[in-house]
Amino acid sequence: MYAILCHPGHNRVYFEESKNFVLNELSIAAGRMSVKIQNIRLQNIAGIQYLIFEADEDLTAQDLKLLSQLSFIFALFKYDTHFFIPIELSAFGYVDQNISKILKYTGKTNEIFTRLLINIAVFSSDFSMTDTLKLLDPIAGKGTTLFEGLVCNYDVYGIEIGEKVVTEAYNFLKKFLEKEKYKHTVKLEKISGKNRLFTAHRYNITISKTKDAVKSKECREFEIISGNSFYANQLYKKNYFNFIVGDLPYGIQHSSVTNEKQSQFTRNPKELLISCLPVWKDLLIKNGIIVLSWNTFVLSRKELVKIFEDNGFDVFSGENYVFEHRVDQAINRDIIAAKKK
């Protein structure tokens, strides 16, 4: 038997619901483990709650790597009714795991929740974990998904309509890489659409840990484009991404954000999805996975599922895909996960 101690910071606001998050995330991850695990459950031991599971055999190095990626994991033990044996988690993080915790701003998606979104996508997919996997956040904000994706060793790409936000995300990462002494090269580019329909700015950083990694091309890509996601198919090739992950606009104006340019389109998730989902789908490779969170107060799950199905996606359903939770008075958040047919 194994016991996982969950991160104490995981469940401040939606404490009760987050118990199900950890059960569901591990249950989805179980489908990708080499050892069969079962009887996943929460159990109180000496006043502390643990996530317990049984495994047919000892966990492999590959399984430990996968468990180390879980959004909530704090410590892992081999567990018998009489003793706990600590198991070292895999050294994890292409860049320091704290990268996405540093920036604080209104409208930021919680970084642990963001890791959960990424993991639902990755663990629901059939892609080999050893391939170079590409992740797009088409509504990237100041880049939490991109930073978390980079930590998980994916090539990450983002599109965000707010120009200032994009330069802030880019400048933040550049400074971070300089301070942490990563090798990196920067490419900046202005892009114009056909017939000058739109303009966008591409900020690309190729990152490697050492000089040797540069030579052997063991690099990661970070890219963020300031532009409208509606034109995503003029910014990226078709069938390019394994995953699309993002936190949709909540359909409310954040009280401290005074951005006159923020149109109804950028705030209303339904309008945004109806316009953009067909475009985003083209960018996903076959069997690619999309995972989005949204506010059910402005768009019901039923309506959202219909939009996805009408656009040629199979929506994941079943007890492991229940993540609805109350964030505050104006936001009741849920997660949708779907596979491109």
- Tell me which of 66, 67, 162, 288 binds ligand SAM, using CB under 6 A: 162
Name the residue nearer to ligand SAM (CB basis): 84 or 107: 107
Q: Is 141 in the site for ligand SAM (CB under 6 A)?
A: yes
Picking from 134, 109, 138, the residue whose alpha carbon sits closest to that of residue 275 is: 138
Name the residue nearer to ligand SAM (CB basis): 5 or 116: 116
- Tell me which of 241, 244, 249, 284 binds ligand SAM, using CB under 6 A: 249
Name the minimum Å distance from CB 121 to ligand SAM: 14
Name the residue nearer to ligand SAM (CB basis): 139 or 304: 139
Categorise residue 271: left if φ over 0, alpha if ψ from -120 to 50, beta otherwise.
alpha
Question: Which region among 76-84, 154-162, 173-181, 215-223 touches ligand SAM (by CB under 6 A)?
Answer: 154-162
Name the residue nearer to ligand SAM (CB basis): 39 or 264: 264
Q: Is 193 in the site for ligand SAM (CB under 6 A)?
A: no
| 326: CB partners within 8 A, 6+ apart | 14, 17, 332, 333
Name the minimum Å distance from CB 291 to ligand SAM: 12
Site string for ligand SAM, 219-238 (x = CB under 6 A): ---------xxx--------
Name the minimum Å distance from CB 145 to ligand SAM: 6
At what angle are helices 269-283 and 301-310 packed, to 10 degrees? 30
Q: What are phi and psi of 141, to 5 degrees?
A: 55, -135
> What is the longest distance spanned by two Cα atoms in the chain?
71
Picking from 200, 283, 288, 290, the residue whose alpha carbon sits closest to that of residue 245 is: 290
The DSSP result for 22-56, as a single string, is HHHHHHHHHTT-SS-EEEEEEEEETTEEEEEEEES
Name the minimum Å distance from CB 202 to ligand SAM: 14
Q: At CA 30, angle to CA 26 and CA 36, rounded to 5?
A: 135
Site string for ligand SAM, 120-139 (x = CB under 6 A): -------------------x
Strands 241-247 and 313-315: unpaired
Tokens of 264: 């109804």
What is the C-alpha to C-alpha distance for residues 24 and 321, in angstroms, rounded to an integer? 7
Q: Residue 108 is which amino acid?
A: K
Q: Is 247 in the site for ligand SAM (CB under 6 A)?
A: yes
Site string for ligand SAM, 84-113 (x = CB under 6 A): -----------------------xxx----
Residues from 259 through 298 that contact ligand SAM (CB under 6 A): 266, 272
Do the beta carbons of residue 30 and residue 37 sit within 8 Å?
Answer: yes
Name the minimum Å distance from CB 6 to ligand SAM: 22
Residues that bind ligand SAM (CB under 6 A): 107-109, 139, 141-142, 144-145, 159-162, 228-230, 247, 249, 266, 272
